[in-house]
Chains A and B, each alone.
Chain A
Amino acid sequence: MGDHHHGPAKGLSRWLLTTNHKDIGTLYLWFAFIMFLVGGAFAMVIRMELFQPGNQLVSPNTFNQLTTMHGLIMVFGAIMPAFTGFANWLIPMMVGAPDMALPRMNNWSFWILPFAFAILLSSWFMDGGAPNFGWTFYAPLSTQGPPSTDFFILSVHMMGISSIMGAINVIVTIFNMRAPGMTLMKMPIFCWSWLITAFLLIAVMPILAAAVTMLLTDRNFGTSFFDAAGGGDPVLFQHIFWFFGHPEVYIMILPAFGIVSEILPTFTRKRLFGRVSMIYAIVAIAGLSFIVWAHHMFTTGMPVIAGLFFMYATMLIAVPTGVKIFNWAATIFRGALTFETPMLFALGFVFLFTIGGFSGLMLALIPADIQYHDTYFVVAHFHYVLVSGALFSIFAGAYYWLPKWTGTMYNETLGKFHFWLSAISFNITFFPMHFMGLAGMPRRIPDYALQFADFNRISSIGSFVFGLSQLLFLYIIIQAIRGKGKKATDEVWDDHPRGLEWTLSSPPAYHTFETPPSEKLVEEHH
């Protein structure tokens, strides 16, 4: 094997052909950010339509298409690729490996994504328009969906293959490429959260693939998995979908737990409280995620005993989640806190995610859920866990590691401004939705009763501010990448940081840890 050290190739082929984990991480993060803006643009149109009662801006069908595409793009195009981007950038640097274990597969798993989403987005321009049945594509809505549904199926298959390959890469890297002396229990908590996430992905992405395959054969090849006329059952679809779907929502939050657990200790100058219990909590949450799926289906009419099982199992998840929240609180307690942007987003995460967790507990109660099902209360709930949960952790992580990645400190004043704008406008957007839902406003409708007009107007105004604030984030990042700002030190935040990534230069060389770090270095930095 050649012993040459080389930098990145020049031009476009660097990005097309790269097998470098840092390049691929960057590609994933940019892709996620672009999809975030696209999905966000759809959300802006949704909020414009809902600014006042009546149908003014888009037709009801277009509205349904917008909610469908918004959900699909944010879940599969923004949140998941962003976390995979973090995994690519950080896991090799954190475990002291030269790269991901399977670099060519890594290139492939990224480059599938732009094509998958090009196919999905092209459905806007097809006969019958884009899919309009919601991101959950319930049968029979999807079995009778527009012709573009078949393109949607293909793109979901491609996203699934991409996620599975990404997950395999993470597992093989963590199991086979840790530096000598780095035992699993010494491994950074971010890597732990991603390891569990990767196993969840391997377990449930094939279920999603099977679900869309059944949909495909029902639509085109005369099978009747979900068609009652042929002996199938539409409720079966919901079982299969949510057997994938519930672990999927943890796939979107476990890496967030990892990121926040890395950030809080840095800005409190303390070790993470209860590290081992944090790891076990992640494992417990992942395990429980497989036995709670039917809590999404309480209104389909299930026997009392099954309902009780799913209700109690769901409420049981509050235990390991509570362990995590209390551990974060204990980490913060009596720490020497400073409030740089990553810390602000991490604290925002802890507060707002907990609100989302509590509304989740409310929804777990069958009698309450039957009332709240498919109302704006549910919309409020999952945006508290996905926006102020997953997305805020992505912002926090981006600010936290950006100086390491670029070698330049981002503009701290603007970063804080971005946080406060986001946090306040987020709450203006989504907090009123709790009230709308409790008062009975159904989700996924373009028009609503007059009584909801005021709260919807508040929500819409908040969402416009939130959407525009993200352009500030784009500006801050570009400035840092262009080197406009203070030079970052290698340690970046703390003089004695934990984590091997801080032993590298800022920005790190194109190839790092080609010789593994010494056991002494591993021991000092864990």
Chain B
Amino acid sequence: MQEKRNHKPLLYKLLLAVFCMFLFAFALVPLYDTFCEVTGINGKTGGRIRAAIEEIDTSRIIRLEFITHNNQEMPWEFYVTQPYIDLHPGEVKQVDFYARNPTDIDMVGQTIPSVSPGVGARYIKKTECFCFDFQPLKAGAEEVMPVVLFLDPKIPDHIEELTLSYTLFDITDRS
């Protein structure tokens, strides 16, 4: 007769492997964010920083363009007052964005920034940005939303132009 081998030890090891891979997939989410943050490759700008007094590099001028989008059917009016600014690396500037809720319901918006080319994202330093918070707007209300930013003087020489794009999402249901 053939000897009966106990299959359970191997079975349990394989089930454990399955479970670990399931968890690993969830671990990919923070790993992905960390990886993008460390390498700065995803076009995501960083959070609020305190205004550090940087040396202004007057030898260079970089053009920073702004674009605004409404996601899907977001009905707000949302635009930037200046399409672009020219600034020296290290120089602190303020740009105003304008939003109005034309509907007759109170809504909450959230803007998500993205930078192109993506490698430039980590050099845009914001000391103040409406994108850090939710934007509640009552029906018919309007608001001027400032961004205060400067460019890190370490920004690579080949970057002469950057585009900062803001997409406005409707998160009324979420909040």
Contact = CB atoms under 8 A, between A and B. Distances in A.
A164 B16 CA distance: 12
Interface size bracket, B side = 20 to 34
B25 interface: yes
A233 B10 contact: no
Closest A-B pairs by Cβ, 6 of them: A210-B25, A229-B169, A206-B22, A206-B21, A207-B25, A176-B5
B112 A516 contact: no
Interface string A159-177: 0000010001001100111
A220 interface: no
B41 A172 contact: no
Contact of A229 (B1, B5, B25, B110): B110
Task: Tell me whether chain B's interface is mostly helix, strand or loop, or mixed.
Answer: helix
Contacts of B39: 303
Interface string A176-206: 1100000000000000000000000011111
Contacts of B10: 171-172, 175-176
Interface string B39-59: 101110000000000000000
B67 to A, nearest CB: 15
A76 interface: no
Interface string A302-328: 110010000000000000000000000
Interface of B: 1-2, 5, 7, 10-11, 14-15, 17-19, 21-22, 24-26, 28-29, 32-33, 39, 41-43, 71, 110, 112, 118-119, 167, 169-171, 174
A202 B118 CA distance: 36
A214 B29 CA distance: 10
A230 B175 CA distance: 10
Contact of B29 (A225, A229, A302): A225
A236 interface: yes
Nearest to A203: B21
Given A102-B7, A303-B119, A202 B174 contact: no
14 contacts: A98-B2, A102-B7, A102-B11, A177-B5, A206-B18, A207-B22, A209-B25, A214-B29, A230-B110, A230-B174, A233-B32, A236-B32, A239-B28, A303-B41
Contact of A202 (B17, B110, B170): B17
Contacts of A171: 10, 14
A368 interface: no
Contacts of A168: 11, 14-15, 18
B18 to A, nearest CB: 5
Given A102-B7, A176-B5, 10 more contacts: A202-B18, A206-B25, A209-B25, A214-B26, A222-B174, A228-B112, A236-B29, A243-B28, A303-B39, A516-B2
A209 B25 CA distance: 9
A202 B22 contact: no
Interface string A228-248: 111001011001100100000
Nearest to B117: A301
Contacts of A301: 43, 118
